Structures are given as structure tokens and as C-alpha cells.
Amino acid sequence: MNEIRLQQVLPRVFANRDSITSDIWHRDLTFRKGERCLIEAASGTGKSSLCSYLYGYRRDYEGIITFDGKNIRALDTAGWTALRRRSLSLLFQELRLFPELTALENVWLKNRLTGHKTRKEILTLFEKAGIADKANEKTALLSFGQQQRVAFIRSLCQPFDFLLLDEPVSHLDEANAEALARLLEEEAVRQGAGILVTSVGATLPLTYDHTYKL
């Protein structure tokens, strides 16, 4: 997949508002593979909704979203499954980890779907993210910041043309955020992928091609 295009997209919950001031909503906008985009937002402006629309989890929007010219409303379950396995990866703001599984098991469960990385490569990611000693800990016992790094690693363990990151460093200090940015840059360059990052405060420290105000 080479591009994601939004044409006059707007969450239906905003439809009755008198005016919308946004670089995203009610615009004609294209995200291209290989570009890094930052979407800055205040709470309640729809950043998580945007990620859910692009990932196919929600359809409560007006306007048109296309992947390489194809309206995503035409995708069936099999089509979405294929995209999420090979073209789209998403780090949810709420992480969606399995608390009863270890950190490594959460990542390995995702990686088994594609065989994208070896166990050794995944453990190296844990080490570079500063949580090598937490790999065999139950996720429920980890702090939110540690869980955030586990979910971040999981999002890298698949092929993708675009990676969507919803507030990926909200609970991390500067040093840990920089460590994740290095991991992301390495993987994105390797895959030639596009990156969309949302933020309401702390920002993943990348060099961005475009910054949008939601």
C-alpha cells in the first residue's frame, strides 16, 4: 500500500458543529508511504477515532477514506485481515495487551501470525527498549510505561506499509522515548514504511515530514 487518502472525512459526532478548524477533518489529505507525520491534538478532537477509522475498527464517519484509491468501506473481513497482517500496524492508546500473559508472550502472539522476527530479534528489541528484565513478567504486573514499551515492540513485529501510533510515549521519559524512536526509525527504514503519530503532549522524537493540527 502506497497511500492513504482522506476526502472530507469527519466523525459523525462532529457533524452538527457550526465550524471545524482542523488540518485533518473536512480536508483532502494524503498520507504517503515513507513519510513521517505528526498529528497534534487536544483531548476530544478525534485522534483515536482517526486511528480506528484507518484500521477499520470504526465506520462512524462522513466522507471517504481510500487505500491506493480503493474505498475502505468496500473491504470485507478477509480484506481487512490481510491488510492488518501485511500492510497496517497499530499501537492503540489503551495498548490492548493480555494481562495474564507475559510481556514476551504478548509480543510473540502477534509475531506468530507473520513470522516477521525471530525470538532472538524480539529479545534484542526488549533490551534496546530497556525492559529486557521484564520479558518474562506477567504484563499485569508492569507499570503503564513498561506496558507501553511492550505494546510498541509488538507493533514492530509484523510487515507494514504504514504504522499508526496513538500517543506512543505518553507515559515515558525523554530517554525512553528516544530509545523507542531509534527502534522505530530502524524498522521503518527497513520496510520503507510511513508513520502516523498522534500526540496530545509528549511527542515521539522523530524528524517529521509533516505536522498537522487535529
Give the tens place of pLDDT for each residue, 16-70: 887 888 999 999 999 999 999 999 998 889 999 999 999 999 999 999 999 999 9
Contacts of 40 (CB under 8 A, 6+ apart): 198, 199, 200, 203, 211, 212, 213, 214
**pTM surpassing 0.85?**
yes
Judge contact between 4 and 160, C-beta under 8 A: no
CA dihedral sign, ordered 155, 192, 30, 80: negative
80 has pLDDT over 80: yes
Q: How far is Cα 43 from Cα 41, in angstroms, rounded to an integer?
A: 6
Res 42: pLDDT = 87
For the segment 128-154, the average pLDDT, to the nearest whole number, is 97
